[in-house]
Structure formats: structure tokens, C-alpha cells
Amino acid sequence: MLQSRSAASCLLCVFTLMGTARGPAQTSPMEVSSPDHRITMRFAVKPDKDVAGPDGQLTYSIEFKGKQVFEESALKLELANQPPLGSAIHITGTTPGSGVDDYTLLAGKTSAVHDAYNSLTVHAAEGASPGRNFDVEARLYNSGLAFRYHVPEQAALSRFQLTQEDTEFRPVMDADAWALRLPNYQSAYESEYVPAALSALSNQGGVASHILNGAPMLMHMPGVAWAAVGEADLEGNAAMYLENPTGSWTGHFIVTKISPPVDGQGPAVDASLPHDSAWRVILLGEKPGDLIESNLFTDLNPPNRVADPSWIHPGKASWNWWDGDLGPDGKSAYTTANMEYYVDFAAASGFPYMMLDAGWSGMDITKMRGNVDVPELVRYAAKKNVKVWIWLYSKSVAAQMQQAFPLYEKWGVAGVKIDFVLRNDQEGIRWYYAVAKLAAEHHLMVDFHGATQPWGIQRTWPNVLDYEAVLGLEQNKAGRRDGPVNRTTFPFTRMLSGPMDYTPGGFDNVTREAFVARDNSPMVMGTRAQQLALYVVYEAPLAMVSDAPSAYANQPAFQFIRDVPTAWDATRALDGEPGEFATIARRQAKEWYLGSITNWTARDVRAPLDFLGAGKYTAEIYEDAADAAENPKHVAIWHQTVRKTDTLTLHLASGGGCAIRFVPVP
């Protein structure tokens, strides 16, 4: 439904103009509001003196709680051998609507979603030749909004060939931004989110910027709102990047850049008509944590296509790669016998999976090299109620998945970790969907690594359990890039778009001064309690338990890793600021779990327990010990009876954290 104060005028526009292919320019802006009326989106045509007649540039603007967040921003498509579509149009009509996204998720931040929205589809057409038309469909939810382009079949356009999309996002001020700087269109999305004013993303040498930034991008407009710009449902399209194109220190807006074909040939998107673009998503909230709770990225994707998903299960996995394949004798060995050691560890710990990483095959992924017998490892694991995932190289998957996936199903493999994808052009995105579909047909779950950020595909193909696309714990093997500052930034940036296989669990915890990068038995900066808390703070349906089995032996804090789930019925972001600290609570069934992490600043964090249900709970608390700043491995563990009316004060050391399990008292 439309915002009440504009309902009469907008409905009049609909009845007057609906059904006309072309009509007079719409003189008053049209708008739609979220169900709770906090968010309003307006459309208008901005006059252009260089365009004859009443046509002009189609724009949108956004208000949050009565304050403008994004001012008039252009909606425009560049098509091959065509003038831009959207720069010389008039609005011919609008179609209002409403709906509810009601569905379940097998894994993620929540198990059941019920998100209402109001919608408005704006119909636009060119008054002059070539006389093309298109629509912009907008949906407004209570946690944000999304819009996409719809280009219908028409005589004036034979095919959709997008060379560039020029969607603008113009915040009302030079917003504080957290941008993922990427070197090119073929990266693994494994970098820092750099905090800077939006104007700092421009090329201040006086020419247009070519600094690529991955989505989502977080923005803060003090006194107005927190916002994040991302995308959802990429099927049939190429991924979006964001760029400040101004070439000036005064410029503070961003525009979309669409991933081009990796061979540099042809348009970015080539499709028959009708064609829908990916959704452009804007999350909005008063606090940064509000954005974490949103389900928009899955809301905007098609429903589940796996008829019987009963074989898909989230869970934790032991992992041989991060510690350097260390065996029970402390020596590295990539052998069947040593991998059985990791299976034994998973079984003893109650983990459903063991992740067998790279090395079992060469480029031909239908043949084993002879060092690890995968079918034998799978048979051994099955006797202990453990299932095996295997690592694959993406180019080999592209060449051989039709032969390999049926073979893995015959072997009894549970899932495939596909690495070094490094592309998200239209063909690359098509490949993601093809992999998900074929894997589902052969009862294989998928973990994409070296990949672009997720966009909600896990709703459509729930066998896609996890994604990397993050600067993770593996960085400790080579350098100092992983640490508490990045860890406290990711919940408010990268994690907004979906699951994040950061691979926590490092138990050789050291101070900044003591840290040395090393490939085998890596160290981890920050406290052990922080590593525990990451299992709650981060959304990771397939969660690695990264360190060597020997690292966890006789360590009381390991009990929390054994207990913590990896899929959730509810998520509450309690407090936090990007790069500073984050406190998140999640529920599975009747139990709640809480994780709180801080950067290098020690702090006391207050955690109201109003998310708990009625009655008493036993809080099993794993907190930084009093000397954790100097001895990061030290964890204080105790139990406390609490109720929902209580507030806990969590004492976080420098680089520290706290993890809590809340168990109802019978």
C-alpha cells in the first residue's frame, strides 16, 4: 500500500495513466513507504534542458524516519549501439502493490522468515525515437528497500545488451563509508573494508575514478541513518561493483559498475527480452546492528528449488589444511591414515564433517593422485557417523563437473569446497547456478571459496551452505592482515550479504608483539575467548574447526566449540560499531548463544538479556581471563543463573571476547 499522505494523488496517477504505452510527463513525484512507514521512496523525472519536450532523467530519492537519506539519484542503463535508457523518459504510470515473503531457511541467521513489503512499479517510456520503455520495480520492507529494472519485449529493442549500468546512490552528505577496495573484476573479495569519507573514494587527480569497491558497502550519515548498498538475485546477470566517479574531492556519491566478460568481448549482460536486472538493495537502520538482522538478501531470491532437501545439514568440520596437515606425531603428512586422524577428531568432538583440502587430485578431478584414497576415507568416516567434504579447483569443476559430481555421489562424498572462482561476470554467475543445480541433483552440498560475496542464492539452492569472500584466518599463515580490527568490521559489512566462511578456531593465541606468521601451526593475534565468540558473531552454516586436533586436547575452552550450533532460529544484534566491537545473540531451539568481540581496545560491554525466554537459564560463560591481554590463551570459565531481566557486564581484553551458552533451567 502507498504512504497515506500521498495515496490519493498516486492512485489518481495510476487510474489516469495505467495501460497507456506512452503518455504525458508525470509532474508530481510518486512514492511508496515501508509497512511501518519509516522508509519512503520517491520517483521523479528530472528536467534536462538538452532533451526536447517534457522528457528527462528518471530519479529516485529515499527518506528514513522523516529525514532524507539519499537525494535524487539517477536510474539509467547503457545499451550496446543505443542511447542510454532512462535519461530521456517520462513516467507513463505506476502499479502499487504489497506482499509478504514467507519461507523457511535450512541454514542461516533465522529458520523462518515473515517479511511484509509494499511495492511500486514505475512504468517509463521515451517520447522521442527510438521510443523504448522499461519499468523500475521497488519493494520497501521495514529493514530496507530494493529495486530492479525490468525491460519488456518491445519493437524498439530486439535484445538486452547491457554495456554498463549507471544507477546512482547519492547520500545527503559525505557519508562515512566502509569500502572493500578490489584490484580488478577478477578477485577473491579477500581484503579489508577501509573506513573513509565517501569523497575519499574518488580519484582526486581530477579525472574520473576507477577504484573498484565490492558490495556491500556500509555508510553512516550521522544524525540520519546507517545504510548498506548491495545486490540480490543475480541469476541471468553479472555482479555489481561500486565506484565514486567524480574525480573531485567534493564528490560524495557512488555509481554501479557491472562486471564485464573476462575475455573483454561483448556486453556485460547479453539476454533475450523480457529481462530483469539483479535487485539493488539498500539496508537502513538507526544502528549498524539493525542491518545485521535484515533478511532482504534472501527475501529477494526465488524460492527453494530442491524438492527434497532432507539431506542438507549445516554443521562443524575438522580441517586438515590450516594447521599444515599435522598428524598425531606432530609431523605433516597428506595420507589416508593421517586424514583418518582428523575423522577421529571430528567423531570424538561430535562434528558431522571432516574437510579434506587440496592435494588428493591433480587437475583431473575424477582421478586420485594416490596419496589419499577418498572412497576409503569416506567409508572409514561413515563408520564413525562423520561425512567427508573434498576440495576442488574451480576450473576443473567447470571442465569436468558432469563426470565428477556423479562419481562423488557414488563415493558418498557429502559436499564440495570449490576454490579460486575469481570471476562474477555473466558467465561466471551462470556457472554458480549450474554448479548449485548439478550438485543438488547428486546430493552434494557446496562451499564456494575464492568467490564473490553471496547474494541470497542459498534460499533458491539451499545446498549452497557457505561462501568465503572474506579476509579470513588463513591470512595468519602468511602475514599480519587478519586481526581484531577486521574481525569487528566484518559483521557490519561483508556478513550483511550472507554466510561467511572465515574459518575460526585458532588456539595458538598471542599478542601483537609475539605474533609471527608461519605456514604450519599458525599463530592468531587476539585472545582465545575471541576465537570462541566468532562462532556466534559470524554466520557460517559450515563452520571450520581450523586448528590441529592436538591444539584442542585438554583445553576446557574447547567445550564451547563442541556445543555451539552453526544454524539459527533467531538472531539479535545487541550492540556494536564497525571496527570497534560487536555483540550478537543467536538462538537455536530453546538455547541462546552470545558472542562479543572487541578490537585492540579493552572495554566493558553491557549485554541486556531481554532476548531470553521466560524462566531461569544457566549461563555457561567463557570470558577473557584477568591477564588475557598479556596471556591471550587464558580463558575464565564459570556458570551463572540468569533471567531475561538481567544485564551482564562483559569484560573484554585488548583483542578479546566473550562467548556464552544459555541453557534453560528445567
The C-alpha cell at 340 is: 583418518
Give the integer Cα–Cα distance in Å for 110 and 105: 7
Give the integer Cα–Cα distance in Å for 39 and 146: 12
Give the integer Cα–Cα distance in Å for 178 and 170: 16
Report CA-CA distances (Å) from 45 to 55, 62, 66, 134, 245: 7, 15, 22, 14, 22
Quote the DSSP letter at residue 392: E
Give the integer Cα–Cα distance in Å for 181 and 178: 9
List, for residues 476-491, the tens digit of each pLDDT value: 999 999 999 999 999 9
Give the integer Cα–Cα distance in Å for 414 and 311: 9
Tell me the percentage of the chain whose pLDDT exceeds 70: 95
Q: Compute, in degrees rounded to 10, the torsion defined by CA atoms 420, 426, 429, 434.
A: -110
What are φ and ψ of residue 309, in 5° steps?
-90, 20
The C-alpha cell at 40 is: 519512503
- Helix (H/G/I), strand (E/B), else coil: 569: coil
CB atoms within 10 A of CB 317: 27
pTM of the model as a whole: 0.94
Contact 497, 230 (CB under 8 A): yes
Amino acid of residue 558: F
What's the average model confidence in pLDDT over 15-30? 44
Contact 136, 147 (CB under 8 A): yes
Vertex 195 angle, CA 192 and 201, to 5°? 95
Domain extent listing, the chain: 4-299
Binned at pLDDT 50, 70 and 90, residue 209 comes out as: low
What's the average model confidence in pLDDT over 637-651? 98
List, for residues 232-258, the tens digit of each pLDDT value: 999 999 999 999 998 777 789 999 999
For 562: left if phi > 0, alpha if psi spans -120 to 50, otherwise beta; the answer is: alpha
Contact 618, 590 (CB under 8 A): no
Contact 389, 417 (CB under 8 A): yes
Strand order through the sheet with 67-74: 30-33, 39-47, 56-64, 67-74
Give the integer Cα–Cα distance in Å for 151 and 159: 10
H/E element, 604: strand 603-608
Give the integer Cα–Cα distance in Å for 181 and 586: 30
Beta strand 275-276 with 168-169 is unpaired
Amino acid of residue 155: A
Q: Compute, in degrees rounded to 10, the torsion defined by CA atoms 25, 28, 34, 40.
A: 110
Place of cell 581484553: 653
Q: What is the 3-state secondary structure (H, E, C) of 260-308?
A: CCCCCCCCCEEECCCEECCEEEEEEECCHHHHHCCCHHHHCCCCCCCCC
Beta strand 279-285 with 524-525 is unpaired
> Is 84 a residue whose pLDDT tops 60?
yes
Residue 369, judged by CB atoms within 10 A of its CB (0-12, 13-18, 19+), counts as exposed
Amino acid of residue 337: A
Contact 587, 609 (CB under 8 A): no
**Over the chain, what is the mean pLDDT?**
94
pLDDT at residue 51 in the model: 74
Quote the DSSP letter at residue 205: T
> Is 5 a residue whose pLDDT tops 50?
no
pLDDT at residue 24 in the model: 46
pLDDT at residue 247 in the model: 76
pLDDT at residue 210 in the model: 66
Binned at pLDDT 50, 70 and 90, residue 619 comes out as: very high
List, for residues 516-545, the tens digit of each pLDDT value: 999 999 999 999 999 999 999 999 999 999
List, for residues 97-133, the tens digit of each pLDDT value: 999 999 999 999 999 999 999 999 999 999 999 999 9
Contact 60, 66 (CB under 8 A): no
Report CA-CA distances (Å) from 533 to 9, 25, 539, 600: 52, 56, 12, 15
Q: Which residues are CB-neighbours of 638 under 8 A, at least 6 positions away?
A: 621
pLDDT at residue 17 in the model: 37
pLDDT at residue 59 in the model: 98
Helix axes 394-411, 426-441, angle to 10 degrees: 10
The C-alpha cell at 88 is: 530521456
> Is 52 a residue whose pLDDT tops 80?
no
pLDDT at residue 14 in the model: 36
CATH, domain 4-299, list 1.10.3720.10, 3.90.1640.10, 2.70.98.10, 3.90.1580.10: 2.70.98.10
pLDDT at residue 249 in the model: 75
Strand order through the sheet with 635-642: 570-577, 581-588, 591-598, 657-664, 617-624, 635-642
Q: What share of the chain is helix, strand, coil (3-state, %, to 5)?
A: 20, 35, 45
**514-553 CB burial, b ≥16 within 10 A, e <16:** ebeeeeebbbbbbbbbbbbbbbbbbbbbbbbbbbbbbbbe
The C-alpha cell at 30 is: 510518486
Quote the DSSP letter at residue 527: -
Contact 498, 458 (CB under 8 A): yes
What's the average model confidence in pLDDT over 620-647? 98
- Longest CA span, the chain: 81
